[in-house]
Amino acid sequence: MKLGAVAHTLRLEFLVDAAPDTEVRDGYVSDLLSDVLAHAEPGDLWLTHQRHLNVVAVGKLREVAGIVFVRGLRPNPEVIQKAREEGVNLLVSQDDAFHTAGKLHRLLFP
């Protein structure tokens, strides 16, 4: 399912919509950067509480479909700027990680 459609259905707000046509294959929830580098798969939608600059680098390295900040958390403008430069999709969910992941799972694997 395309990221744009996932965002619309789950009511995720785009902070950076670099490539909304990206295919979301699965999801991954983690706040540990090395864990994401080791175990997230390309095409995963990554749900996290981390919102500093390195998150963009990790998301790009792992080629995730996008990064979703949960519980309404917002990164600072530098992070958004960096993501725009690097072509990394950034989104915000008003739900917490558990509920965002639950809704995403239901959508991707009904």
With respect to another protein, which residue has the nearer C-beta, 5 or 32?
32
Q: Pick from 63, 98, 102, 106 the residue near another protein by CB under 8 A.
A: 63
- Report phi then psi at 74, rounded to 5: -125, 135
Tokens for 88?
């990394």
Touching another protein, residues 4-23 (CB under 8 A): none
What is the closest distance, in whole angstroms, from the C-beta atom of residue 61 to another protein in the complex? 5
Task: Determine the interface stretch with another protein among 4-12, 25-33, 92-100, 102-110 (rule: CB under 8 A).
Answer: 25-33
